[in-house]
C-alpha cells in the first residue's frame, strides 16, 4: 500500500470511527459493545450470573444447543472466559455443544 492509498484510507477511517462512537448510521442499534466495560445492563448481568450459579450448583454438564451465531457466540464466550481444558478439571461444570453437528453418531455419543 502506498502513501496516497494510506492517506485516502485515513479519511475513511476517521469517518467510520465517528459513525461508530457517535452511534450513527445503519446498524447503530448494535453498537452497545462500544461502551463496554463501563456501560452495560447491570440487571441483565446479575440475571446471567444468577443463572450461571444455578447451572453450576445443580448440573454436571451444560449442553449448548444452536447453529450459527447462537452456537458460535456462546462457544466463543465460554472458551474465552474458561480454562482451555475446563471439561477435564474436577469441580467445573462440563460444557458440550449440540446443533452445530447433524451427525446422529455425534448426538448419540453426546447423550451417552
pLDDT tens-digit profile of 53-90? 998 899 989 999 888 888 898 899 999 999 999 999 98
Instruction: State the pTM of this model.
Output: 0.63
N-terminal to C-terminal alpha carbon distance within the chain: 55
Q: How far apart are CA 56 and CA 94, in angstroms?
A: 9
Q: So what's the pLDDT on residue 7?
A: 80
CA distance 25 to 16: 10
Tens digits of residue pLDDT in 11-62: 889 999 999 989 898 888 888 888 888 888 999 999 999 999 998 899 989 9
Amino acid at each position: 500500500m502506498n502513501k496516497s492509498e494510506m492517506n485516502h484510507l485515513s479519511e475513511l477511517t476517521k469517518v467510520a470511527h465517528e459513525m461508530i462512537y457517535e452511534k450513527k448510521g445503519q446498524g447503530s442499534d448494535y453498537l452497545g459493545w462500544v461502551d463496554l466495560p463501563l456501560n452495560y445492563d447491570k440487571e441483565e448481568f446479575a440475571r446471567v450470573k444468577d443463572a450461571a450459579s444455578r447451572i453450576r450448583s445443580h448440573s454436571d454438564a451444560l449442553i449448548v444447543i444452536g447453529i450459527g451465531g447462537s452456537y458460535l457466540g456462546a462457544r466463543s464466550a465460554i472458551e474465552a472466559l474458561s480454562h482451555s481444558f475446563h471439561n477435564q478439571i474436577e469441580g467445573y461444570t462440563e460444557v458440550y455443544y449440540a446443533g452445530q453437528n447433524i451427525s446422529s453418531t455425534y448426538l448419540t455419543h453426546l447423550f451417552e
